[in-house]
Amino acid sequence: MFEDWIYKYLSRTSCALTFLVNPIFIYLIFSEKSSKFGNYRFLLLYFAFFNFIYSVVNVSVPLDIHNYRYSFFIFVRHGWFMERSDLNFHILVARCSIVASSYAVLLSHFIYRYLVISDSSLTRRHFHWYMTGSFLLSVVYFSLWHVTCYFPGRANFELLQYIREDFQETFGLDSTEFNMVGALFSVGSYETTHRAWIATISWSAVSIASITSFFVMARLIMRKLKKMTVRTSQKTSRFQFELLRALIVQTVIPICISFSPCLLCWYGPIFGIQLDRSFNYFETTALGVFSFVDPIAIILCLPIFRCRILKCFSKTYKNNRTTSISRN
């Protein structure tokens, strides 16, 4: 019952909250004066639509992650794509790859902020080319992750036999009946362990390079903003700092609650560390929450949005209180 709540109801709750929060987020963006956000509105709209897609995929293809001694594996916990087949394996790999696409979405925000401060034409007259490039960047990340997931391939007979007893004890099921993406780092054949190491190093390289790029871009933007304060108004420079702060918070949230646990999952088995099952619950849950947590963080970090939300709640409270008093 607890696992059903984690893998069915919690993912659906996250999806419902995503479809509640993001429309409010979109309304706040496009109800502001266009001069306030400029074309950045459309990049935020792209971010919101990505959240919609991600949350639907999270419900349709619920992942489970598990460690056993020198191995880890990912499989579909329940639903339409649980059974072992070629099609379902492709869907599993695509589900893993869409997580990597979120790196590209965040990186496109940092690049845009830098280009705006640099007064690039890509943020104004040629913005359609920038949006095309942002979309292609997401496709590149998706494809790159897709390829690296295929490198260790579908969990082979050796890995399935290695985890079979633990899988039966943990889930009460036969591991050979499921599609899996997994890695066996030791006690296996040379080919199996070699592929596991190359795939894990590739995943780590993409993740670390992306996160490093975020911090490098943030540093470059900060330097540009400090120079910008000399030649622009205090109001404009303050707003740019607020946007950067919101972007940093928007980036730190998935890094802390989603991507960091993945590193523990990849590297724990290298040293034979078997993570507690409760950590796997946290990991699979965290992978689904940033699609609604991030928009909330942006709204709270930007004073113009925060004030509007507080005014709305204050107005609703006053109206309800007035109605209550009039009835009494």
Look at 51-55, 149-153, 222-226 and tell me which has the smallest mean pLDDT. Answer: 149-153
Q: pLDDT grade, residue 305 (50/70/90)?
A: confident
In a domain, residue 39? The reply is: yes
270 vs 1, which has greater pLDDT?
270
Q: pTM of the full predicted structure?
A: 0.84
Range of the domain at 48: 2-307
In a domain, residue 324? The reply is: no
- Find the distance separating the first CA and the last CA of the chain, reported in whole Å: 47
In a domain, residue 174? The reply is: yes
Look at 112-116, 147-151, 200-204, 302-306 and tell me which has the smallest mean pLDDT. Answer: 147-151
In a domain, residue 28? The reply is: yes
**CATH number for the domain harbouring residue 122:** 1.20.1070.10
Q: pLDDT grade, residue 315 (50/70/90)?
A: low
pLDDT at 226 over 60: yes
In a domain, residue 321? The reply is: no
pLDDT at 126 over 80: yes
Looking at residue 177, the DSSP 8-state letter turns out to be: G
- Residues 6 or more apart whose Cβ sits within 8 Å of residue 242: 301, 302, 303
Q: pLDDT grade, residue 154 (50/70/90)?
A: low
Nearest to 179 by CA among 275, 266, 96, 57: 96
CA atoms within 13 A on the CB side of 326: 6
In a domain, residue 10? The reply is: yes
pLDDT at 100 over 90: no
In a domain, residue 314? The reply is: no
Amino acid 36: pLDDT: 77
Model confidence pLDDT, tens digit, residues 102-123: 888 889 988 988 888 888 888 8
Q: φ and ψ at 236, to 5 degrees?
A: -65, -45
Hey, what are 145's tokens?
């992750």
- Residues 6 or more apart whose Cβ sits within 8 Å of residue 77: 3, 7, 62, 63, 64, 284
Q: Would you say 232 and 225 are in contact if contact means Cβ atoms under 8 Å apart?
A: no
Amino acid 175: pLDDT: 79
With a pLDDT cut of 90, the percent of the chain lying above it is 7
How many domains would you assign to the chain?
A: 1
Look at 125-129, 215-219, 290-294 and tell me which has the smallest mean pLDDT. Answer: 290-294
pLDDT at 27 over 70: yes
In a domain, residue 66? The reply is: yes
